[in-house]
Chains A and B, each alone.
Chain A
Amino acid sequence: MRALNRKLLRDLWRLRGQVLAIAMVVASGVAVLVMSVSAIEALEETAQAYYERYRFADVFAGLKRAPQRLAHRIEAIPGVQAVETRITKLAMLDIPGFDEPVIGQLVSIPERGTPVLNQLALREGRFVAPGRVDEVVLSEPFAEEHGLRPGDHLKAIMNGNKRTLEVVGIALSPEFVYAIAPGALMPDDLRFGVLWIGREALEAAYDLDGAFNDVSLSLLRGAQVETVIERLDQLLDRYGGIGAIARADQVSNWFLMNEIEQLKTAATILPVIFLAVAAFLTNMVLARLIAAERSEIGLFKAFGYGNAWIGWHYVKMVVAMTAVGIVIGWGVGALFGRLNTEIYAEFYRFPFLYYRPGPAAFAIGAVVSLGASLVGTIGAVRQAATLPPAEAMRPPAPPVYERTWLSATWLGRWLDQPTRIILRQISRWPVRSALTSTGIALSVGVMVMANQWTDSINHIIQVYFYEAQRHHMAVGLVEAQSSTAVHEFERMPAVLAVEPMRIVSVDFSKGTRKHRGSLAGMVPVTRFNLIYDVSGQVIQVPPGGLVLGTKLAEKLGVGVGDEVFVEILEGRRPARPVRVVRLFETYIGMPAYIDIRVLEDLLRERPSVEYVNLLIDEAAEKELFAKLKDLPEVSAVMLRRAAVDTFRKTMAETLLIYIGFFSAFAVALGFGVVYNSARIALSERGRELATLRVLGFSRMETSYILLGEVGLLVCAGLPLGCLAGGGLAWMITTAFETELYRIPLVVEASTYGTAVLVALVATVISAALVRRRLDRLDLIAVLKTRE
């Protein structure tokens, strides 16, 4: 082996602490990228595969009642591949040992064979048997929440009759990756579940013999979804169709895709910023490391090694260091990516998991890291190599220290010598000092950026659930009831106040822009459902016009004063232009509000309610729950605290776990930077410090000189880091927007505090490690040899 290569290996071994610290910085960047990208890829692939394998339908439509033979006419629509007709109903459930009302989504399955579309992944037990009308297959998340297993029983009010059902199987369905109650914002597996029951049993229970009230279609490749939906809507119009939707608008899928989209945004922007920061730090650290090799470079030149040769030597050295980091980053990234994917898969309840990371993330991580290292190295080597060898071999000329205010003022007289050395050192190397502080600032900034999410989410919860929603619960009714229902609710136990609300499915359009969403009819002066602007302003819904969330207005390209074409997908399906009278900012969803009387007008209906918001006495809620359980017209019960729970859970289990991994990497990054700064400072100044020791300075004092400098630079970096963190957080929250959420920029003081604390702990640990080396400094050897 060539002597130079041997030197390389031994140097790497000698510098192993630093190699590891640099590797940590590199690895953090690479790992975050690999983890994020591969987990997202896996999530998307798994979802897609799940949909395909279990034949998730492309178009869904609900209707009142249609004869089974209509299925043939639906099949004949050009572009349709397969048709599955079903019966779906909502039912109030009674689960032993659970007080609160629970809503069940009943879905029919054939007693013989498997459904053509929206097939089930059986997890436990079996499917329903022919002729057994009391058998049910439960959705797994729901069954798990209630601890229900095959053999257990539950009750359901079906068409006014309370029936006891026996659980025979537990299953998952691509149709209910998220099981969201009609009108609910978030999935809540405790209070809403899917029950698959034999088709014949449901036909009998709801007097739907030979009929269906729900149809799903799969389409041929290349079929036009819009045209199929149009034809389908025409066919179903006579049978009380409420407007078919494409897979993209199917609630579970829409939610899932939104979540994936949101994770994807997080998993693209965060790692890119992170990788860039890691690359910058790698570059900085290596440049300084190589600069410290300057006298060795001079020596090689004195021997007659050419610049290219020397450059190649150091390139090999940093490539080796970086490669260690890259390999660690790949490994850790893939491991955490898999872990992350498993968490997602568990959360989304995929029956299987594809984790097959593509090469792109690995390659990008490696190339960016290597590039940054090489640029830093080559710059530093060039700087040393252009010097005549004689000059390079001399220790850098003793800097010219000028008498400054430091020595002149009272402050200067008051400072002791070691402190002066620190301050002079910093003022002598302003660029390098600034870079060190910048490095620390960036790692603090990344930590702030990561933790800011938690703050923002808490802020959303506060504003959305507590400030804007004053009521404790909302009750959805199976069908719009006459307004006397309000009084019925007022008389129920524990109810303090009632406010009605009406929510309808709506197609908004403006020119070619379209949005299928919902429109909420509000009482003119609402006390419960305050419409809060993000600025904290309460907005009243003026009579006669639409109040739109800005996100929706943006999507439709409208402003105040413009008209939006509103087509209500219920009742007589009225359609007409309505003027936008107000816009407001919101964090969640794309809401639209209108005066409930205007809505009734549009529907040409008598005053009616579909939702009631209740203010209740929570101490007495059990009685109310018991009462609600026996009401056949109740289709959904949404509790505010349950909604907060599920919101937290949805966010926590996906985004926040991801952010948790991310924070860990940010800590590694910060540690790597601080440790390297201290180590390089030690190697640069070992002689000077040993000399001071020989002159009689104590270990304490020499440590102070070295670590005091690092400490001071860290301290300078901290406020900068908080600023950088604020900036990065702003960048992210701006870039991070889905139809479902906007993330407000909220950074709590505690987030800054945590980041600062972590940086300080990293500093203390690095200092302790370097201090050990400093104490073991061999005075004679340092003074005898000139490095």
Chain B
Amino acid sequence: MTFSSKAQDPVDRPRVTLRAEALTKIYRTGEVEVQALRGVDLELFERELVVLLGASGSGKSTLLNILGGLDVPSSGRVFFDGTDITASEESALTRFRRDHVGFVFQFYNLIPSLTARENVALVTEIAAHPMAPDEALEMVGLGERLDHFPAQLSGGEQQRVAIARAIAKRPNILLCDEPTGALDSATGILVLEALEQVNREIGTTTAVITHNTVIGDMADRVVRLADGRIVQITANPRRRPACELAW
């Protein structure tokens, strides 16, 4: 078992990894304005797995992108370990993404001209304390397909490469935007198992976006969004293992 490098909180209360305060986001395209987030407050705790649920267009991706420093909010702030990343310099933001955040995208976003191993290496080469690319791919069950190019892998396998790429830097936060969205259920469950395993073994704070309510059962907490607001947060008494899920 691998532990996070951070010391345990003396009090038996989980530490906050990421905190969002009063986030709003307005998209402007020409004369059209879309209010994607209308004031979101959220805390993500160390080692927890959160599922974000909501209808399409409810603002899930927008929220996740802002949390991970991929986008800037129109107002509001995001704190990581007590520092305001929304006020950070470009270079500090880059370092935050490089050292602390792993992303998994719905469409995998692998570099087509690099093999599975090289796609992972792309990230480990610049991270502070990465694991070996082979090791990360081993964790997601792809130890055998290291030298395959994305085009030679199935959708599920590509998504698992993307997960390996996201976790190989041993991030504090893993942000996944509909990781199973493009997959059939059996493959989707394989991917979720990989996420679950990483969360358990590395202790990475994990947020998973989905509009599939069933997936909520594997989470510590389920956050529901609607129309740019958090409408409900429920804590599950028990996480269901991903392998028991079915849809």
Contacts and interface: CB of A to CB of B under 8 A. Distances in A.
B134 interface: no
B118 A3 contact: yes
B97 A302 contact: yes
A400 B113 contact: no
Contacts of A307: 90, 94
A302 B103 contact: yes
A786 B109 contact: yes
Contacts of B70: 301-302, 388-390, 393
B184 to A, nearest CB: 13
A303 B150 CA distance: 18
B117 to A, nearest CB: 9
Contacts of A785: 107-108, 112, 150
Contacts of A393: 70, 105, 109
Interface stretch (A6-14, A106-114, A548-556, A561-569): A6-14
A2 B133 CA distance: 13
Interface string A4-37: 1011001100100000000000000000000000
A72 interface: no
Which 9 residue pairs across A and B have the least CB separation, nearest first? A304-B98, A390-B71, A10-B113, A390-B65, A390-B70, A786-B107, A304-B97, A3-B121, A3-B122
Given A7-B114, A388-B70, A397 B109 contact: no
Given A11-B113, A784-B155, A785-B108, A3 B125 contact: yes
A301 B125 contact: no
Given A305-B98, A305-B126, A393-B105, 8 more contacts: A7-B118, A303-B123, A304-B94, A304-B127, A307-B90, A391-B71, A397-B29, A786-B109
Interface string A302-342: 11111101000000000000000000000000000000000
A304 to B, nearest CB: 2
A397 B30 CA distance: 11
Nearest to B122: A3
Nearest to B65: A390
A296 interface: yes
A7 B29 CA distance: 34
A304 B85 CA distance: 14
A781 interface: yes
B1 to A, nearest CB: 27
A681 to B, nearest CB: 20
Interface in B148-163: 150-151, 155
A400 B30 CA distance: 8
Contact of B71 (A10, A296, A389, A784): A389
Contacts of B113: 6-7, 10-11, 14
Nearest to B97: A304
A3 B119 CA distance: 7
Contact of B122 (A4, A11, A781, A787): A4
Nearest to B91: A306
A656 interface: no
B93 to A, nearest CB: 9
Interface in A752-786: 781, 784-786
Contacts of A388: 65, 70-72
A397 B28 CA distance: 11
Contacts, number: 84
Interface residues of B, number: 38
Interface of A: 2-4, 6-7, 10-11, 14, 296, 299, 301-307, 309, 388-391, 393, 397, 400, 781, 784-787
B111 interface: yes
Contacts of A390: 65, 70-71
23 contacts: A4-B122, A7-B111, A7-B113, A7-B114, A7-B118, A10-B114, A301-B94, A301-B97, A303-B123, A304-B99, A304-B123, A304-B126, A305-B94, A305-B98, A307-B90, A307-B94, A388-B70, A388-B71, A389-B70, A393-B109, A400-B30, A400-B32, A787-B112
B240 interface: no
B95 interface: yes
Given A3-B118, A393-B109, A785-B150, A303 B126 contact: yes
B98 A303 contact: yes
Nearest to B69: A389
Contacts of B105: 393
B71 A6 contact: no
Contacts of B97: 301-304, 389
Interface in B8-65: 29-30, 32, 65
A723 B94 CA distance: 49
Given A7-B111, A785-B112, A785-B150, A303 B122 contact: yes
Contacts of A400: 29-30, 32
A11 B96 CA distance: 28
A124 B238 CA distance: 106
A548 B95 CA distance: 78
Chain B CB within 10 Å — which of A393, A397, A785 has the most? A785
A365 B182 CA distance: 50
Contacts of B125: 2-4
Nearest to A307: B90
B106 to A, nearest CB: 8
Nearest to B155: A784
A376 to B, nearest CB: 22
A296 B30 CA distance: 25
Contacts of A787: 112
Chain B CB within 10 Å — which of A3, A305, A306 has the most? A3
Nearest to B27: A397
A784 B96 CA distance: 30
Contacts of A302: 68, 70, 97, 103
Contacts of B151: 781
B109 A6 contact: no
B115 to A, nearest CB: 9
A391 B69 CA distance: 12
B192 to A, nearest CB: 20
Contacts of B29: 397, 400
B147 to A, nearest CB: 12
Contacts of A4: 122, 125
Contacts of A303: 97-98, 103, 122-123, 126
A389 B68 CA distance: 10
Contacts of A299: 109, 111
A279 B51 CA distance: 53
A304 B95 contact: yes
A677 to B, nearest CB: 23
Contacts of A397: 29
A296 B105 CA distance: 13
A390 B71 CA distance: 5
A786 to B, nearest CB: 4
Nearest to A306: B94
A14 B113 CA distance: 8
Nearest to A392: B70
A303 B126 CA distance: 9
Nearest to B90: A307
A299 B113 CA distance: 14
Given A14-B113, A301-B94, A388-B70, A6 B118 contact: yes
B114 A6 contact: yes
B221 to A, nearest CB: 24
Contacts of A10: 113-114
Nearest to B112: A785
